[in-house]
Each structure stands twice: as structure tokens, then as C-alpha cells.
Structure 1
């Protein structure tokens, strides 16, 4: 029997770099719209970096609240372009990552951190463009005892994230793209980008139609039109 709760698994799938590259110009609202607004991570996780987008493949960690031993191991295992996604139970008593781990992650070309827990050394993150999203901040450091698991499904900000899923973060928040849906989703997003391009152009040239507003109000029984 495997040691449930204290184990490191292999990641079965991971998006190729070409697929990740196609998400570099995709905004989180378009991901949300085309996943029926059901795949957004809670806004309780907010960005602490100065600027920059997050795009990468999830390397998931489930850890005991306040303990980052398995997060250190995840940094050692990570490949360039990975996002270390940590389910720390939302606890903010102890920080899960700080400046030392930031520098280690940068050296390994990790794409960013998503921490359902706290961070510290906040100034180091706020002065940098390395993406980090977290639930909060505390000066209290972590323990390094375990247990924990790597490459298992995790719950972060109300979303279940599988190893290898695509994480996209920008100024509007964080979105999760299930890896198995990524190719089809991209096609829907490109179509939406084109539609919105034409809408913006019609606003600019004065040809935009607003008839749909009254039609929607009438269909819902609004009086006074």
C-alpha cells in the first residue's frame, strides 16, 4: 500500500511548450467566458508581484498547513515553464514561500507560484516580475517536517487542479485550463477575440447596434420601454 498523504507521484501529462506559448496572449476573462465562468480561482488569491503574466503547467503540491518541505522538493523536480501550485489549506499562520524560494524558482526558470496559503518577504516579490499569487502574508516562517504529496489533484481557491493543467494569471485573476480541453478552448477563444475586435471597431466607427439591450429587457418582461 502506498504511503497516502506522504508521497511523490509522476506527472502523467504536461502541455508542450508550443501549446503554452499560444496562451501567452490569452486573457483570463476569455478563458472564463468560454468555460462558462466555472474555472476561475477565487479572488481571495491575489497577485503580489509587480507586473507580468503567469502562464505555465501545474506541478501540484498538497501540504500540511504551515509546512513547506514538499514545496522545496517540488522546486527541485520542476521543469522550466512549470507553475508550482500549492494547496496549503488556505491557512495563513505560516508562510509557505519567501525570497529564498523565489530565487531558487527563478534560477530553474519556473513560471510562478500559486499558493493557497501565505507568503513572506513580500517586498522581494513586489519588486520583481516573477508571478506569485497567494492568499495572504505573514512574517512567521514555515516548518519542514511534512507530510505532503506532489502531483496529486489539489483544491486551490475553490478549484480542483490536476497535474499538468494550464494556469493563466493576469491583472484580472487566475484561471485554470484543463489540459484535455486546451486545444478546443483555444479555438473558442480565438473566435471570441475576433468578435470583440469587430465590436470595438463598430464602436469606433459608429456602426454599433444596441438593439439587443431593449430586446433582452422586453423578453424578461421589463416595463417602461
Structure 2
């Protein structure tokens, strides 16, 4: 560590969990994990629907400064999702078209930025998934400090290096590789239950007796 810059060794976390979680709705994953995970305030910048499912490569930077993000780009591996804690600041963009192009070239599958980005049309044209807190044309500083591959918090959610990030139009969730298969099984079961509920609505057989049960319990 020097000058407030910390770069930790890469933690390899690839495994079957990614494929098991791929395509699962972020909201359903959040539900089966006790509704205690998931981002707030981060939204897709893409106009067309995008999804992502890959290992988190984490970076934290000072508000408005992207020096360590440039370093992180050199370390990305195929399938990574670059997850950036920018302190929630939206006064300056942390990434744009050039950095996105580098990430795509290295095989990254998306950006998650708790901060601002720019060049949103390029993200749309390239269909490169990106979630951010805001958009700003102003460029960033390049002074540091920052960290790479350490636990961070984005949008109110803890993300550890190597966590599996699942994102869609509703938001993002982080799942540890150790939990992934269990979470995927629960999420698959819940998706099936919800599809059955929707079918019952369409065929006119829907009922919700649990509502009155809960109301009675609340009165007790």
C-alpha cells in the first residue's frame, strides 16, 4: 500500500453458480435471499433491456476520480463485471466509451457504477450492460486513492470480490459463489410458483386467502 492505493491479489471464484443463476430475475433472487440484498438508486443506462451475470471485480475510488479504474481495466478477465464504488458521487463521470471499449476487448460483461458515467449512446450502441447512479459529461480526476479487489458497498449492497452479480432492468443482487447453487434452486422454484399464479389469474381461478390470514394475525 502506498499513497492510499491498495491492489489485492485476484480471487478466482468462477464455477457452476454463474450458469445456475443466469437468467434468473434479480427480484426473485432478492426475495429468496430474505429480501435483504439488492441495490437501491442504481439503474441501467441502456434503453434496450440488458442483463448481466458474472463475477464481481471490485474497485473503490475517491469521488470523481478514476485512476484506479484504469488500473482495474488492465486486470479484468473474461466474464468479469466491473463493480465500482464511486461514493455515490455524480458530479463527474468515472467511465465512458473508451473505458467501456477496453473492458469489452478484455471480455468483461458489464459495469456497475455507484457514481456517474458518460457516453451513454455508446453503451446503447454496443449493447454493453451498465448500471449507474447518474450521468454527467464532466470528466474525472486521476489522482487516487483507491482500492482494487477488496469488499465495497454499492447502492446499499455489500459486494465482495468474486461475488456473482446478477443484474436486469429491476436492479442488481450479489450472491456468494458458495451460496449460488442453493439460491438458484430456490429462485427456480419461486419462478415456477409465480408463473403458476399468473396462469391462475389468466384462467380466472386466482384467489389469495393468505391476505385475510395475515390481516387476522396482525389484529391478534
Tell me, yes or no, whether TM beats 0.5: yes
The aligned length equals: 219
- State the match for 1:71 in structure 2: 69
Q: Does the Cα contact within 8 Å between 2:17 and 2:177 map onto a contact in 1?
A: no
- State the match for 1:46 in structure 2: 43
Please list every run of 5 or more consecutive structure 2 residues that lacks an aligned counterpart in the other structure.
none
**In terms of mean alpha carbon deviation, does 22-31 or 176-185 score higher?**
176-185
Runs of 4+ in 1 over 4 A off after TM superposition: none
Q: How does 1:192-203 map to 2 (within 5 A)?
A: 192-203=190-201
Using the TM superposition, give the Cα deviation of residue 110 of structure 1 relative to its aligned residue in structure 2, in angstroms.
Answer: 0.5
Query: What is the distance in 2 between the residues matched to 1:159 and 1:124?
Result: 27
- State the match for 1:57 in structure 2: 55
Using the TM superposition, give the Cα deviation of residue 47 of structure 1 relative to its aligned residue in structure 2, in angstroms.
Answer: 0.7
- State the match for 1:12 in structure 2: 11
Aligned partner of residue 142 in structure 1, secondary structure? coil
Q: Does the Cα contact within 8 Å between 2:18 and 2:180 map onto a contact in 1?
A: no
CA distances 1:58-109 after superposition (whole Å, capped 9, x unpaired): 0000112211121111111111110101111111122100111111111112
Query: What is the distance in 1 between the residues matched to 2:134 and 2:200?
Result: 42
Q: Does the Cα contact within 8 Å between 2:43 and 2:169 map onto a contact in 1?
A: no
Q: Does the Cα contact within 8 Å between 1:59 and 1:83 map onto a contact in 2?
A: yes
**In terms of mean alpha carbon deviation, does 178-187 or 193-202 score higher?**
193-202
Query: What is the distance in 2 between the residues matched to 1:101 and 1:187?
Result: 36
- State the match for 1:31 in structure 2: 29
CA distances 1:165-216 after superposition (whole Å, capped 9, x unpaired): 1111111111111232212111211221222233233333333333222222
Aligned counterpart in structure 1 of residue 131 of structure 2, from 127, 130, 133: 133
CA distances 1:4-39 after superposition (whole Å, capped 9, x unpaired): 8312111334132x4212222100111110111111
- State the match for 2:182 in structure 1: 184
What is the aligned-residue RMSD (CA, Å)?
Answer: 1.8
Query: What is the distance in 1 between the residues matched to 2:65 and 2:3?
Result: 17
* Larger Rg computed on CA atoms: 1
Q: Does the Cα contact within 8 Å between 1:49 and 1:128 map onto a contact in 2?
A: no
Q: How does 1:24-173 map to 2 (within 5 A)?
A: 24-42=22-40, 44-50=41-47, 51-173=49-171
Please list every run of 5 or more consecutive structure 1 residues that lacks an aligned counterpart in the other structure.
none
- State the match for 1:175 in structure 2: 173
In the superposition, the TM-score normalised over structure 1's length comes to 0.90
